[in-house]
């Protein structure tokens, strides 16, 4: 509703950059109104004059005569404080609901940015606590996206004033590459999900430092040492060793991104990218790097949004926009993921999550996702169906569905084959039902991986039929998305942090792995697994070890508990296993 402008005592609008820009947009009437408001009054430092918005997209403009900085020796700080009070009070008295402040006096008047940040935040907090405040709902700050100094000044004050007083009646949230603080109250976890080709794409409201993924992305500055917002939270969560690693790598040649270990975060790798760069190109680079390293999942912030939001007492909100348009960011990020899905019909990367701490931004990504839903469906069909790999002849017609579960009957030979395989080592268990999993995308991904392995190894003896026990809650996820090694360690990780499969059904049928549900029923999958050329595993492995001392990229296909008589196999690529049948017993 109201924009604050700064002017000199002569009230000429053509001088400063801000007033010049406002005059150009509003038209000459803005200057005429301002001169008219001066009639009968004296314009002096600390004065505030009001005009209409003219051709601006606002109801009114408040023109403040800001003080020059006096190094704290005079009254400049008190004058600036009074200007902020006058502006807030005027908006309330006129029953307006929002006001936008620029960085008053921080240019040619040399007012310290940190001092201004302290003053305006303090005044907004005091104003929001006043008894008579009723109509003012939102206070915005205009910050240049390239001004790291002012952004860090505000973040320092936000932390000190908002987080420093636990009794303050408020909720503090932030999102984007320039702000994350843990909320005082837990707003709950909200997420939306869609399939883009073989990729599961999620948008989620939450704290990225709590994410469990192979890769977490940190959006930072060119020096890779941003000590604010999401970047600060990631560096603090990962520990000082990561910060030191960033400093070391930043001094070396790089391609606008660096990689460090995850350390204390629940990820293997942190990819540090430049938030100022083109978002679509940055996300594409991240996805390709994940694929090159055979990572299964990645979590990213809303890169470059630089948006902060505070909900203060009595529903007054205070926000600062210092980055890219969230709609543009959402569009660019989803476009990059779609491009990747086209390029990689059977990727190692299975899940991409955009984590948004600011719930107010969640709807922006959700709307973009919904808008694209119809256009992405043909992409999904094209990637998953229009390939050269035929579906198994014994599969039931799916009526244009991409996945379904078909229950087998005891009289079928297929049922007997699966039952006999299971009963070899589990004769005492009574089978309740056997279901065939028909998932086109998972099948195509598996077949592409199989063809690649057959060519690489020079033979087709790379596949085994193995078993995998699970709990009832995981069944729908496995049927839809396959086996996700991001959950490695759930049932042990003695031979590596991958997905485990047993030679004998009796191993998987153990209550430790096939956890009984509330009705006492247990679940074990019969799985096609590409074990290929394998070696003995070790607990710290996150990929198979190299089998060629002269070529570290030439890896074993899987690992096992024993190379002579294996009972367990571990794979580290999610498309190396296909859930063929589910046995409930």
DSSP-assigned states of every residue in 513-575: TS---TTS--EEEEEEEE--SEEE--TT-SSPPBS-TT-TT-B-SEEES-SSS-SEEEESSGG
Q: What are phi and psi of 558, to 5 degrees?
A: -160, 180
Residue 576 has pLDDT above 70, yes or no: yes
pLDDT of residue 173: 35
pLDDT at residue 584, as a whole number:
97
- pLDDT at residue 358, rounded to an integer: 61
Single out the residue of 555, 531, 541 nearest to residue 493, CA to CA. 541
524, 469 in Cβ contact below 8 A? yes
Of 13-22, 163-172, 321-330, 399-408, least confident by mean pLDDT is: 163-172
If you ran DSSP here, which 8-state letter would residue 395 be given? S
Question: What digits encode the pLDDT tens for the residues 102-139?
Answer: 988 888 888 888 888 888 888 887 887 665 656 788 88
Ranges 100-109, 186-195, 207-216, 532-541: which has the least confidence: 186-195
Q: β-pairing, 199-205 with 351-356?
A: parallel
> With 50 as the cut, is the pLDDT of residue 184 above it?
no
- Tell me what the mean pLDDT of segment 181-206 comes to: 62
Quick: pLDDT tens for 476-532.
Answer: 989 988 887 655 555 457 898 889 999 999 999 999 999 999 999 999 999 999 999
The DSSP 8-state label assigned to residue 394 in this structure reads T
pLDDT digits (tens, 9 = 90+) for 54-95: 989 898 999 999 999 988 888 999 999 999 999 999 998 888
CATH number of 2-142: 3.40.220.10
For domain 403-584, give its CATH number from 3.90.228.10, 3.40.228.10, 3.30.70.360, 2.40.110.10.
Answer: 3.90.228.10
Q: What's the predicted TM-score (pTM) here? A: 0.43
10 Å Cβ neighbour count for 218?
A: 29
- Top mean-pLDDT range of 243-247, 405-409, 477-481: 405-409
For 549, the token pair is 């001392």
Question: At 142, is the pLDDT very low, low, confident or very high (cuts 50, 70, 90)?
Answer: confident
Among 86-95, 152-161, 204-213, 276-285, whose mean pLDDT is lowest? 152-161
Same fold, 2-142 and 190-305+323-384: yes
pLDDT in tens, 11-47: 988 788 888 889 999 999 999 999 888 777 778 999 9
Round to whole Å and give the CA distance between 406 and 580: 11
Distance from C-alpha of 209 to C-alpha of 374, rounded to nearest angstrom: 32
CA distance 370 to 374: 8
Mind giving me the DSSP string for 80-121?
A: HHHHHHHHHHHHHHTT--EEEE--TTSSTT---HHHHHHHHH
Q: What integer pLDDT is reported at residue 272 of this predicted model?
A: 93
> What is the rounded distance in angstroms from the CA atom of residue 287 to the CA atom of residue 265?
20
**Once rounded to an integer, what is the mean pLDDT over residues 359-365?**
68
Question: How sure is the predictor about 176, in pLDDT bands with cuts at 50, 70 and 90?
Answer: very low
Q: 């209550």: which residue's tokens?
A: 511
Region 221-244: mean pLDDT is: 81
Which residue in this structure is represented by tokens 């190379």? 563
Rounded (10°) angle between helices 240-250 and 229-238: 120
Examine the pLDDT at 407 and tell me if it is beyond 80.
yes
Domain boundaries, the chain: 2-142, 190-305+323-384, 403-584
Average pLDDT of the chain to the nearest whole number: 81
Is the pLDDT assigned to residue 313 strictly greater than 80? no
Residue 379: is its pLDDT beyond 70? no
Instruction: Give the pLDDT of residue 516.
Output: 94
Q: Answer yes or no: CATH 3.40.220.10 is held by domain 190-305+323-384.
A: yes
Q: Minimum mean pLDDT among 156-170, 293-307, 341-355: which range?
A: 156-170
Partnered with residue 429 across adjacent β-strands are: none
Q: How many other CB atoms are found less than 10 A from the CB of residue 458?
A: 6
């Amino acid at each position: 509703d109201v924009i604050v402008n700064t002017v000199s005592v002569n009230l000429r609008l053509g001088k400063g950059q801000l007033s010049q820009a406002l005059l150009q947009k509003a038209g000459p009437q803005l200057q005429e109104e301002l001169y008219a408001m001066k009639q009968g009054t004296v314009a002096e430092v600390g004065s505030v004059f009001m005009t209409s918005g003219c051709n601006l997209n606002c109801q009114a403009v408040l023109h403040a005569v800001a003080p020059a900085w006096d190094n704290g020796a005079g009254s400049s700080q008190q004058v600036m404080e009074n200007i902020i009070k006058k502006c807030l009070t005027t908006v309330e008295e006129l029953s307006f609901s929002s006001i936008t402040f620029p960085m008053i006096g921080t240019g040619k008047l040399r007012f310290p940015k940190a001092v201004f940040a302290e003053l305006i935040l303090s005044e907004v907090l005091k104003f929001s606590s006043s008894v008579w405040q009723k109509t003012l709902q939102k206070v915005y700050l205009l910050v240049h996206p390239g001004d790291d100094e002012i952004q860090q000044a505000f973040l320092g004050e936000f932390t000190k004033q908002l987080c420093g007083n636990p009794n303050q009646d408020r909720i503090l949230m932030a999102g984007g590459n320039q702000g994350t603080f843990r909320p005082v109250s837990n707003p709950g976890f909200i997420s939306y999900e869609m399939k883009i080709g073989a990729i599961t794409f999620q948008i989620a409201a939450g704290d990225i430092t709590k994410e469990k993924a192979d890769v977490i992305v940190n959006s930072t500055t060119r020096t890779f040492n941003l000590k604010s917002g999401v970047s600060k939270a990631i560096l603090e969560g990962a520990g000082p060793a990561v910060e030191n690693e960033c400093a070391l790598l930043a001094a070396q040649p790089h391609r606008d991104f660096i990689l460090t270990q995850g350390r204390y975060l629940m990820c293997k790798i942190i990819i540090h990218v430049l938030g100022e760069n083109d978002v679509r190109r940055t996300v594409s680079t991240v996805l390709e790097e994940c694929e090159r390293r055979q990572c299964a999942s990645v979590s990213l912030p809303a890169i470059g949004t630089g948006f902060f939001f505070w909900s203060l007492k009595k529903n007054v909100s205070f926000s600062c926009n210092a980055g890219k348009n969230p709609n543009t960011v959402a569009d660019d990020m989803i476009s990059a993921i779609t491009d990747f899905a086209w390029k990689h019909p059977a990727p190692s990367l299975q899940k991409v999550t955009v984590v948004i701490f600011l719930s107010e931004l969640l709807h922006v990504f959700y709307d973009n996702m919904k808008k694209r839903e119809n256009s992405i469906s043909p992409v999904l069909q094209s990637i998953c169906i229009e390939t050269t790999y035929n579906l198994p002849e014994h599969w039931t017609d799916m009526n244009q569905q991409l996945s379904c579960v078909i229950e087998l009957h005891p009289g079928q030979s297929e049922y007997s084959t699966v039952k006999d395989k299971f009963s070899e080592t589990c004769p005492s268990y009574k089978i309740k039902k056997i279901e065939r999993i028909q998932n086109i995308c998972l099948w195509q991904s598996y077949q592409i991986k199989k063809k690649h392995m057959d060519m690489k190894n020079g033979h087709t003896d790379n596949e085994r039929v193995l078993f995998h026990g699970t709990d009832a809650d995981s069944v729908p996820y496995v049927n839809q998305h396959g086996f996700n090694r991001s959950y490695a360690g759930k049932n042990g990780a003695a031979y590596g942090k991958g997905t485990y499969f047993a030679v004998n059904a009796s191993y998987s049928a153990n209550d430790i792995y096939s956890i009984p549900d509330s009705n006492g029923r247990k679940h074990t999958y019969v799985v096609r697994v590409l074990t290929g050329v394998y070696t003995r595993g070790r607990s710290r492995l996150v990929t198979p070890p190299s089998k060629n001392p002269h070529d570290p990229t030439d890896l074993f296909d899987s690992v096992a508990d024993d190379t002579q008589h294996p009972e367990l196999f571990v794979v580290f690529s999610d498309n190396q296993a296909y859930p063929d049948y589910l046995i409930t017993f």
